[in-house]
Chains A and B, each alone.
Chain A
Amino acid sequence: MAFQEIKLYQVGTSVVGNRLLDPEHRTAQARMGRSNTLTSGHRACQGCGEALGARYVLDAAMRATGGNMVAVNSTGCLEVFSTPYPESSWQLPWLHSLFGNGPAVAAGVAAALKAKGREDIRVVGQAGDGGTVDIGFGCLSGMFERNDDVLFVCYDNQGYMNTGVQRSSATPPAARTANTKAIGPEAGNVFGQGKNVPRIAMAHEIPYVATATVADLHDLEAKVEKAMTFRGARYLHVLVPCPLGWGANSADTIRVARLAKESGIFPVFEGERGEVTAVSKIRRQVPVEDYLRLQKRYAHLFANGAAGRPDIVARLQEEADRNIARYGLLGGEL
């Protein structure tokens, strides 16, 4: 199939698609030469945000490194759905060891490549939120502190989806999971102190930290490519909606991710050496409620008509407002 250039008339809108862009500005994913690093045939659910995110991240990283890349994967959905024996969806050297050790294994791979004088081969580690912010957290922090030459990517779907949707420390307050059900006086997950791992990564003053969502795949690819221009420890935290765990329609994955960003509940930013360097502004601000209502995990907040829990919705709106203020997500250049 020959690559056909399409001349287009409409650029610069908020709905611009790949086909409307100059070929140079199209995503790696839209190119004939994409590496299909996570190739088709895997067993992710329909509408899986993680599969989409991983595909974009790895193909962009492959493009940035000219295919000189190794991936290390922690246990989790991504590992399970991609490698049911004897099949593998991975078209790059890929190593899975355990749930909690992905960052340390990746550091070991980087050390081996350095010892062999093969630092031209780059290392990407990847895990879900459980493998990153909970069980793998010690190894992750160690990898940051040593500044090992690894890009670690967290695909954050805000819970232990592979084991049947249990709460992780990345699960947001009020969300229903299998062990924070919508029962009792404080339905859903508790309002804890939160565990903001992108900010914790920043506190390690590593060369590069970024957040992204699968709603803006250009932005995601650009951040991966930028991350690969740095040496040392880098961290990318990607919000990836989980239709199963969040109780959202498979067709709404991108929409839910976009509303997370547009409401301010998930701030999208970049930082270098501990300082925020750029934020993705909100284009059209929406109330958090618009984001929540698409997900059955928050259905109890809106149950019984007006009864629901407007007080909890208000608290979640406060969190979004705090992000908007803290990162300056409104106004200015888009």
Chain B
Amino acid sequence: MLRQIEGSQAVATAVQLCRPEVISAYPISPQTHIVEALSDRVRTGELAGCEYLMVESEFGALSACIGSSGAGARSYTATSSQGLLFMAEALFNASGLGLPIVMTVANRAIGAPINIWNDHSDSMSMRDSGWIQLFARSNQEAVELHIQAFRLAETLSVPVMVCMDGFVLTHAFEAVDLPSQEQVDAFLPPFVPQQSLDPRDPVTIGAMVGPEAFAEVKYLMHAKQVAALDEIPRISEDFAATFGRDSGGLVRPYRLDDAETVVVALGSVLGTVEEVVDAMREEGVRFGALAISCFRPWPLEEVREALSGAKRVVVVEKAFAVGAGGIVGQNTRLALSGLPTEVYNVVAGLGGRPITQASLHGLFADVVEARLDPRRLHFLDLDVALVERELARAGQGRRSGPHAENMLRDLGVVASGSV
């Protein structure tokens, strides 16, 4: 049924249709509308058979899910940004224990400086936590990835993170085709846990493991992620058969045939990227795009195959490894190792800065006309002059003050201060 609906409400409906038995959450913008909506639905009985825990922190939120999932209940939580970092220890624990928890991450920047707007720093910082990471391009896809996520998590007994851009998607109203309960029930069978706390069959979950088997337990985590590379496309096909909609999978090509330059990106920016790809094509430049739908596990073979025909690849990503370079870019370079493809790595949209068609168009033109050095990390729309003025101030003495405040004052955004 097609409805004009806020992304968060649509996701809450998708989660509700998956019949979670325990939801545990702590509020953080921009995740709040999702967990508020789910709280309403548990209270009204619309979401029956579900316990909702309002916990004291994100660490507590995921910890409660570890307990509930360990006791055999389908468990869900949602968070964002600092909240995801506050969960970090529990993230690794949930994946190490093989608990199939599903979590929405409403992607948001990480401070300092504190910033509530969208980028991918949060999810990317936890890319090696042993969670599967799926990235939604639209609210329609966010809905569908959540339904697939529960099935994926429970099939492999691994936790799954569904990443959707904070505000850009969570707070956007658009038409979403919401599935029926019957469809979801047909696609998602009841949860049969691989391990469960049951007095009739007592097991020890979370035992200490020393050097004699630690590597083997960790290897199994890796093997499961590798198995997910087969399972994710299978689930996507099954989803299409049940719902008649094509979504999920590992990567999504857009106008890749004969493309000389391919843009690689994740999440909602793909909409803008595709518009600019169309514009480039109209100008006679053979552009295409590749959406990474699944970032963890990293679909190395699929990325390599999809990009093998390209002369140039432009990775546009909303996070970076400070002091090292791009993250998606490094993974892409790994996928293309041995090929002559030139990879341009561009960081864009940090802390909610809009990624405009004009900026992307300019960037792509620079790439095609070889005005960009592929060996360097680039920052889209970086105010270089502002950075240089602050560096100059910092160079004048040790007590030059806080960078963030100095730069805001420089821009005239902060009312106080002596300018």
Contact = CB atoms under 8 A, between A and B. Distances in A.
Contacts of B417: none
Interface residues of A, number: 45
Contacts of B202: 90-94
Interface string A86-110: 1010111111111011001111111
Contacts of A67: 199
B199 A121 contact: yes
A187 B72 CA distance: 50
Contacts of A96: 204-207
B67 A112 contact: yes
Q: Which of A86, A95, A106, A115 has the most CB of B within 10 A?
A: A115
B306 interface: no
Contact of B204 (A90, A98, A114, A141): A90
B85 interface: no
Interface string B192-216: 0000011101111111111011000
A17 to B, nearest CB: 31
B240 interface: no
A103 to B, nearest CB: 8
A115 B207 CA distance: 26
Contacts of B205: 93-96
Q: Which of A92, A96, A100 has the most CB of B within 10 A?
A: A96
Contact of A105 (B49, B56, B64, B213): B64
A137 B65 CA distance: 18
Interface stretch (A46-54, A76-84, A166-174, A255-263): A76-84
B51 interface: yes
A156 to B, nearest CB: 22
Given A85-B213, A93-B199, A116 B67 contact: no
A138 interface: yes
B89 interface: yes
Interface in A99-156: 100-101, 104-116, 121, 138-139, 141-142, 145-146, 148
Given A80-B208, A86-B213, A113-B71, A108 B203 contact: no
A68 B198 CA distance: 9
Tier of interface size on chain B: 35 or more
A92 B202 CA distance: 5
B199 A108 contact: no
A139 B67 contact: no
B113 to A, nearest CB: 26
Contact of B207 (A85, A91, A105, A112): A85
Interface of B: 21-22, 24, 49-51, 53-57, 59-61, 63-73, 75, 89-90, 93, 97, 197-199, 201-210, 212-213
28 contacts: A67-B199, A83-B208, A84-B210, A85-B210, A85-B213, A90-B202, A93-B202, A93-B203, A93-B205, A94-B205, A95-B70, A96-B207, A97-B97, A101-B90, A104-B55, A104-B59, A104-B60, A104-B64, A105-B66, A105-B67, A108-B24, A108-B64, A108-B75, A111-B22, A111-B53, A112-B21, A114-B51, A115-B49
Given A91-B202, A100-B89, A116-B21, 10 more contacts: A79-B208, A83-B206, A83-B208, A85-B212, A85-B213, A92-B202, A95-B70, A110-B67, A112-B51, A115-B73
